[in-house]
Structure 1
Amino acid sequence: TPLPLGFQDVEPEIKVDLFGNIYVTAIEGVPAGVDLWKSIDKGATFKYLGQPDGAQCPVGSMCSNDAGLGGGDDSIDVSPGGYLYVSSLWLGSVTMSASYDGGTGGIQPGQKWEVNPAAAAVPSDDRQWVAAYGPETVYMSYRQILAAGANTSNVIFVAKSTDGGKTFPQQVATFPVTSAVTARREGNLVVDPYTGNLYTSFRPQELNGHTRAELWLLKSTDGGSTWAMTKAYQGPAGTDIGNVFPVMAVDRGGNLHLAFSQCSFDSTTGNSSNCKVYLMSSTDQGQTWLPAVQVNNGPETSYAILPWMTAGSPGVVDLTWYGSNITTSTQSADWHLYFAQTTNATSATPTFTQVQAISQVVHKKDICLKGGACGSTGNRSLAEYYQIALDPDGNAHIAFTDTVNSNTTGDGRTWYTKQIDGPRAYAPPAPPAASTFAANVPMPGTSPGSIGGGPEPGIKVDSHNCIYTTAPGNPFVWKSSDKGLSFTRPVNPVADEPTLTGGDEEILPFPPNPTGLDSVYFGDLGLSSVHVRKSTDGGQTWFKPGPGGAAGDVAISSDRQWYSGDRAPAATDFTIYEMDHELSTEDIRFHALTNDTAWSPDASGITSSELILPPDSTIVNTNPGPVTVDTKTHQVFGFFNASTLRNNAVQPPFGKMPNVWEATGPGSAAAGVPPGPFTNFPVFKGVFDSPATPAPPAGTQTFGTNASNDFPAAAIDNAGNLYVAWAMNNARTNRYSVWFAASHDHGKNFYGPFEVSQGIGAAVMPWIAAGDDGRAEIVYYGTSAAVDPNTVAKDDKNVSWNVFFAQTLNASAREPVFTVSQASDHINHFGVICNLGLLCASGTRTLADFFQVAIGPDGVANIVYADDATTGASTHPVFARQATGPLALTNPVAAQCVAGAPSPTPTATVSPTASPTPQPTPAQVQLLNISGRARVDTGDNVSIAGFIISGQRSKRVVVRGIGPSMTAGGAAVPGRLMDPFIELHDNAGRLIRSNDNWRSDQQQEIQATGLAPGDDRESAIVLTLAPDTYTVILRGANNTMGIGLIEVYNVSSTTESELGNLSVRGNVLTGDNVLIDGLILRGGTSKRVLFRAIGPELNGVVSGALQDPMMELHGENGALLMSNDDWHQAPNAAEIQATGLAPKDDRESAILMTLPPANYTTIVRGKGNTTGIALNEAYKLQN
């Protein structure tokens, strides 16, 4: 395929980024510039993007055709995240042009081309080569050409940029000017992405006894600061291997490959003959080399020149060259494009599969190999080289020069072709066996047989195989002592503070206790701080750690806390590290708690200038991932996503975060001392959206990457390798998938990324856990539907999600491979999954932001995920345990959870045994719901409900104010209150919380209870309350009036505390405007309940009290069970008197009955249709 343009373009370069975008450049010659093309459809079409080079190129613009100063030589590369680097040789220096938006350009920072017209600091240079390394490091080599023929000339320099090509402060001569060996034909520069080692080669000048038949290797193992030079090859006498550039490549096994064209050379005429392409390889990073072997084969390509190559999996090398059947370089011939592949380049006798890549003749004349010395005596229309590159699948792509088919002038034009069949260059090792998972287990609710919890669940496994899970909404912790077969009903670790409603939750069993229970730390995110609790009895009871509870709170103004633990500073000490995200400044902070003394001050994890405001960042936005510790070095690592200078805003201020960062520093040196100081290293840097103005050419769009889907995940294995996983969209297709990178040098550099999720669908919210060396496991939500998860409709049944488990046993290797298995045994979600956090629309973030996997001492994977697709249940955590498949530990321990926790409540997934089961003790009857319906007016005539929580433990309740959704007999209640407003007060009358419209506050927590009101105008509050008396006031917003309903629901039914009594005060009128109370009794036995209707006792307390109340008690079907006018006339008046709760006025009413578990209603009217304010009360008595 010819690339669109109509000008001379030769020496084409080609690169394919991790998303599959294809970039091609070619030179028009000095001073005509470097042309750039891009394909986003796998090479089907290419679009011209102008000339990004040239010292005179206006900032933020692309140079017009033939305007560039450069164009002498070009060299390009792309970073692992998609940064595009284009270099161009001009007469004064080398221009480096960097693009961070896929080459589309713009005028905003991050979108505009960053043009450095003097990237080479040494004057009079030639033939630059570019090599990208890591997120934002780029190297450039070039040759100094002062005083040709003298030893002081022809030194190869290597420049280094660590800011994405903007500046090159490091310029290093690879050998001294006094070297006896100097360069004449310098080859390309390559970097090993795994080690960071740099390599280049050259053919020397014919000085000091050196000849054209030599190849020399330059190698740096310290980032280009110092270099070693060794001879790599000595050819036969009378040969020349400068035809034209030697080529190097590093495969995924770290093997080094060197290709060149070797010709017989006539020193008298300067002509070459009998040229062949050779390949030689090194398995020890260039220390020794295997013998060179000829690649080209057959009479049709007996003459082979201008080779280029690329390398894939270990020992796999793809090569290309121009070939014909001539014997000398001065002969005209039909030249063809050839391709060969070897899969055993590192063997003693490599074999090659060779094909003619395309049928067309690409050149019909001679080819001069003298470079600039060709003059008018030889044809140099093909210039000196062309290139081959691999796409993410391992297919070969070639950009080449054709002088025959594009025009009739004989000038070179750039063409493109790609591999469409045959073996790919990537042939990874066999992945591990697939895993299976046991029947999934939902977390139990607070009442027997119910399902409980919320989204965003977390999980940890202690050293004894006790499994702890947690979820926000309610600050709940569940425990399994039987390897996940069953879980206890939830416990609230922060029940000692009843006003805490459960924000983000974190749990950490630490330190391991070989002789007893592991301690467990819990963190609940509150509005003011992270509330910390500790358990030493297996999660039964919880308390604030530290002297007098001094460590019970940490991290004021925080958001999303994470824990990790270490035996430090000394082996007998233990330190808990807390990392969080400061809510207002977006800082990443670290605290330390050593030996349960007190939390240290915070240490900032933000040190890179581009993350600090000002001057380098416009909007700082971070998203915190986990914190982890290397227990051997005691180094602390925290990971987070971040926005950039451009911010890639989707919806300010929480826009796209294309970058993944690490903050690392030493651990705490002493109690009370924070870890650090911290240093930031980039894990991954993605690209920006194409600009809207000026819009790029159609067919070149870049979708800015967003690595915040939602938190990055990270883990460290037992060998000290660091692993990071995140989900992001493909910048070419916008498809979301899971990616993985690894660090083998304690977080200074990261290798990758590699795509983990498989198929054409979408994958989000990964989490990672690691075991022994190279063993890592990633979980994520995945769908087979090819959709953007952010834009799918809510509950779209065509987009179903499941939980997937990706396992690798060679995560620390150069070519990690994963096997993906499904972990969920049912669909856990339908439709949209929004990753914009707090900016998500209602109902689009029901799974919240993450779920987790943890590895137990037995090496088995344990997963807890969120499920909102189960019929009849709100969003809740579900547990999945690996049943078969490889383990994460090579020497697992068959640990059994230590006794000490409450007996677990079996779930429906556990099969009963044949053993006889004793009859259980009847459960205590509990009030699960109490409600009061009354006329709501203004002033004192509002509706007021009082209730009591008795017992020793706090209770989770939902309080609701209902109006618009009230019905009776299936029809709307006439005169209902259309905009209720509720207040909750303590026993001293202090306001605890108020609410007008329930979605405006605590929406997620309320929905998680399954008790969300049916109308957005109605009110609701969910809180955990300590034993005490409480009052609820129901008003009409803006003094509106009508019939309203106060409801109190017990959502944490435990025998340690009870929702005891109910008292509702309201204005009793006539008709439907009477006072109605409802209650629900649940349990195993009947219970005595006393109901009262109070009126005259309110004289002097309120004006207009009801002077003669009457009461009715109704059952579930509405049947009248009993009625009463004056209590002392009741048939059991003596029993009423004996309770001590008899009304004080004989005109007041009372009913005492023993009631089985059921729903009941009491109605209070005025005798003779009298009206006034009354109380309707219910007391649950001790039998």
Structure 2
Amino acid sequence: MLLSIAVVSVALPLVGSPTRASAATLAFSTVQLPDYGGEPSITSDNNGLLYVSTPSGVPNPKVTNATEPGTYRSFDKGASWGQIESPDPSSGDTCLATDQANALYWCNLAGSQGSLPLQADVWKSNIAANAACTTTAGTPPGTPNSCNWVHGNPAALGTTNPTPTPCTVPGQASYPTSCNFFGVDRQWTAASNIVAPHPIPAGYTGPQVVLMYHDFYGPSQIWVNISNDGGQTFGAPIEVLANSATVTGAVVAEGFTLCNTVPAGVQIVKPNLPHAGRIYVSWISVDVASNANGCNISMDQSFHTAWVAYSDDNGTTWTPQMVYDSGVGHDMSTPFASFTLDDRGNPYMAFNTPSPAENPAVCGAESNLGTVQSDASCMFNTYVVWCQCGGNTVSFDDGAGLIGGAAATAYQVNATPASCPTDNTRPVECGTNIYATVAAGDPGQVDVSYLHTDEIVPTGALGVGKFDPLGCDKNDEPAPPPTYPARCHWNLYGAKSLTLTSPPATASWTNVQITSAPMHYGDICNLGIACAQAVGPIPRDPRHLLDFNQETIDPTTGCAHISYADDNAGSPYGDPTNPSPHGGHLVVANEIPDPTTGICMTLTTDVTGIPEAPWAALFVPAAVVGALSWVRGRRRRTAALALN
């Protein structure tokens, strides 16, 4: 068990924040995990047991200079962490989820199952919460192991199909869960019991498990595979918009979605709630005109529209709904948006994008004028949009956006100063925010996090509204443009609001810098696999953090837990003048509960459904959320694609 290494950050309202005072109290401690890895996922079970996974970075004991995915567990609210077995030693992406029985689901991209490239898998452990689940792995993957990982097979193939298909190789009885011939990228998963009066699927033994992703070789559509037997077998791929319950809605959504999407997450509304059993999938996308800059692979577009689609009939039909349109040139792919539900099943999205008043053409021109960007309107801010979906419609905030039901105005998490001079009078809020995360408790009560640098990253060299490549790492340029700032220092910030039932103009926030020293030094690329590589004149990989952070809420305390990567250590990534105490490690930031009550946020709804696990009854009504934090999007593929 790793000894805890903690740094406490006390929340103070940031100077200049117009509505921050008295929003909530907020403080965090930070604890490093044994290894380093990018884009760590995090989830909590009903008992507050926490899990983290990363797709790479953990030393592979069997292969010199090779790494493998890592999975970690904390029994003590994130104060210490120990490694457990990952079900597959090969990975391109991972994600985590839990169900009402506290089983752990681990999803994976480009793993060891089958031969079809770029497929996704779901694995399940019923004993991940037991001390018997350790790092002892099975050989080959899927054979008996200390965590009892069981692979989800595609039902159409089973595990004994004697005829090889594109999903298999001769003599190999293993099949990828997704089995989608269009390829898979950035998968997410969710699990929940399904109880009446929601329609019970034929042959249901439960829980229902949903694997969601977008295709990679096709037109970047959103797909799901669904299991109704607790993740043992999954149905055939279902293309969401091709199975829309509303033709008009599907046509409109397809006009924005075709060619480029970034999946944000999947959630299932828990039993005993309005719309129990409803499946939500979420993504961000572009528009037809912007696709001329390159479909799917380049990401050289401003992803300015956010979407959900929901199904009330176990994935048979879907209703798409725009969440928010930030405007052409207002990119929210930094590179992922975050998606979650609160304890009443209401959906939330968090993202980073410039303010509606920003003119992307002006900001691009200013970025090329020969001076470092100082226009405060060109900042990337952090926003939240949500839906109080208790009725029969899904309408976000005021519902008065570009398309009916979309929000016209988002909740801005950070303050925007009037100006950002480059001298010592520059307000602390000036700069750029990325990697937004969100987790929610009761309706309108949210925890948010984001990475912040005090530099305004230059834009416009590529597509309108996109970050300039290496625009935050002037030191990497052989002949650096004068418009680029020096290497940027990035810190993790947390924010909390208990007042999102109020309109965006009057909701209040408390913001705090969590990290005591920068957790990253240099550029952060938002172009996915099109990012520059650490070769030749570029000494540092601008995608070393990979693509997102993640956040969850412990349902027993209402406290937020944020997983992130910290690479501010040594050469070539570290700042020798200001290294991080956690440099070179995965880190979890744990919200500190109120010393009197022992909680951070009140969770009032019991959504456990049918009790299935020891201890569950002890935490009613706190056994609420399961995995509340499901965020973020597009990820690194395997080297086999020769695209990284």
Note whether the superposition's TM-score is higher than 0.5.
yes
Match among 159, 165, 188 for residue 129 of structure 1: 188
Identity of aligned residues (%): 24
- Structure 2 letter corresponding to 1:350: A
User: For each residue in 1:505-547, what CA deviation from the matched residue of structure 2 results, as whole angstroms up to 9, or x when unmatched?
Assistant: xxxxxxxxxxxxxxxxxxxxxxxxxxxxxxxxxxxxxxxxxxx
Equivalent position of 1:388 in the other structure = 551
Q: 1:74 and 1:430, CA in 2 relative to 1: closer, same or farther beyond 3 A?
A: closer
Equivalent position of 1:300 in the other structure = 428
Secondary structure of the equivalent of 1:239? coil
Equivalent position of 2:20 in the other structure = none
Q: How does 1:1098-1113 map to 2 (within 5 A)?
A: none
Distance 1:406 1:188 in 2: 34
Distance 1:425 1:220 in 2: 33
Q: 1:406 and 1:20, CA in 2 relative to 1: closer, same or farther beyond 3 A?
A: farther
Equivalent position of 2:612 in the other structure = 685
Q: How does 1:760-779 map to 2 (within 5 A)?
A: none
Equivalent position of 2:151 in the other structure = 115
Q: How does 1:241-256 map to 2 (within 5 A)?
A: 241-256=332-347
Secondary structure of the equivalent of 2:90? coil
Q: How does 1:458-469 map to 2 (within 5 A)?
A: none
Equivalent position of 2:155 in the other structure = none
Paired residues of 1:13 and 1:76 also in contact (CA < 8 A): yes
Distance 2:42 2:499 in 1: 25
Distance 1:121 1:406 in 2: 42
Distance 1:27 1:314 in 2: 32
Distance 1:22 1:406 in 2: 29
Q: 1:223 and 1:26, CA in 2 relative to 1: closer, same or farther beyond 3 A?
A: same
Equivalent position of 1:403 in the other structure = 567
1:216 deviates by: 2.2
Give unpaired runs (5+ residues) of structure 1.
54-67, 148-152, 432-659, 661-681, 687-704, 706-728, 731-736, 742-751, 756-1183
Match among 375, 379, 397 for residue 542 of structure 2: 379
Secondary structure of the equivalent of 2:310? strand
Equivalent position of 1:202 in the other structure = 283
Match among 587, 595, 602 for residue 415 of structure 1: 587
Equivalent position of 1:637 in the other structure = none
Equivalent position of 1:39 in the other structure = 74
Q: Which segment is superposed worse, 325-334 or 100-109?
A: 100-109
Equivalent position of 1:855 in the other structure = none
Distance 2:542 2:566 in 1: 13
- Root mean square deviation, CA, Å: 3.4
Equivalent position of 2:380 in the other structure = 275
Equivalent position of 2:442 in the other structure = 313
Equivalent position of 1:860 in the other structure = none
Secondary structure of the equivalent of 2:283? strand
Task: Find out whether 1:336 has 2:336 as its counterpart.
Answer: no
Distance 2:455 2:348 in 1: 28
1:403 deviates by: 0.9
Distance 2:231 2:570 in 1: 34
Match among 95, 108, 112 for residue 88 of structure 1: 108
Paired residues of 1:34 and 1:88 also in contact (CA < 8 A): no
Equivalent position of 2:234 in the other structure = 168
- Structure 2 letter corresponding to 1:69: S
Task: Find out whether 1:25 has 2:84 as its counterpart.
Answer: no
Q: 1:247 and 1:425, CA in 2 relative to 1: closer, same or farther beyond 3 A?
A: farther
Secondary structure of the equivalent of 1:372? helix
Task: Find out whether 1:145 has 2:216 as its counterpart.
Answer: yes
- Structure 2 letter corresponding to 1:426: M
Equivalent position of 1:497 in the other structure = none
Secondary structure of the equivalent of 1:112? coil
Distance 1:406 1:209 in 2: 40
Q: 1:145 and 1:364, CA in 2 relative to 1: closer, same or farther beyond 3 A?
A: same
Equivalent position of 2:261 in the other structure = 184
Paired residues of 2:441 and 2:603 also in contact (CA < 8 A): no
User: For each residue in 1:677-720, what CA deviation from the matched residue of structure 2 results, as whole angstroms up to 9, or x when unmatched?
Assistant: xxxxx92333xxxxxxxxxxxxxxxxxx4xxxxxxxxxxxxxxx
- Structure 2 letter corresponding to 1:386: N
Equivalent position of 1:881 in the other structure = none
1:243 deviates by: 1.6
Paired residues of 1:10 and 1:401 also in contact (CA < 8 A): yes
Q: How does 1:1118-1137 map to 2 (within 5 A)?
A: none
Q: 1:364 and 1:204, CA in 2 relative to 1: closer, same or farther beyond 3 A?
A: same
Q: 1:685 and 1:169, CA in 2 relative to 1: closer, same or farther beyond 3 A?
A: farther
Equivalent position of 2:500 in the other structure = 345
1:163 deviates by: 2.3
User: For each residue in 1:639-697, what CA deviation from the matched residue of structure 2 results, as whole angstroms up to 9, or x when unmatched?
Assistant: xxxxxxxxxxxxxxxxxxxxx9xxxxxxxxxxxxxxxxxxxxx92333xxxxxxxxxxx
Distance 2:217 2:145 in 1: 37
Paired residues of 1:219 and 1:229 also in contact (CA < 8 A): yes
Distance 2:514 2:350 in 1: 19
Q: 1:122 and 1:42, CA in 2 relative to 1: closer, same or farther beyond 3 A?
A: same
Q: 1:421 and 1:359, CA in 2 relative to 1: closer, same or farther beyond 3 A?
A: farther
1:341 deviates by: 0.6
- Structure 2 letter corresponding to 1:278: Y
1:145 deviates by: 1.7
Task: Find out whether 1:10 has 2:38 as its counterpart.
Answer: yes
- Structure 1 letter corresponding to 2:434: I
Paired residues of 2:342 and 2:440 also in contact (CA < 8 A): yes
More strand per residue? 1
1:38 deviates by: 0.8
- Structure 1 letter corresponding to 2:414: N
Paired residues of 1:281 and 1:346 also in contact (CA < 8 A): no
Higher-Rg structure is 1
1:249 deviates by: 1.9
Could you tell me the TM-score, scaled by structure 2's length? Answer: 0.60
1:306 deviates by: 0.7
Q: 1:343 and 1:403, CA in 2 relative to 1: closer, same or farther beyond 3 A?
A: same
1:108 deviates by: 6.1
User: For each residue in 1:432-489, what CA deviation from the matched residue of structure 2 results, as whole angstroms up to 9, or x when unmatched?
Assistant: xxxxxxxxxxxxxxxxxxxxxxxxxxxxxxxxxxxxxxxxxxxxxxxxxxxxxxxxxx
Distance 1:394 1:738 in 2: 16
Distance 2:286 2:191 in 1: 28
Paired residues of 1:381 and 1:412 also in contact (CA < 8 A): no
Q: 1:10 and 1:280, CA in 2 relative to 1: closer, same or farther beyond 3 A?
A: same
- Structure 2 letter corresponding to 1:24: V
Distance 2:384 2:327 in 1: 15
Equivalent position of 2:578 in the other structure = none
Match among 208, 223, 227 for residue 157 of structure 1: 223
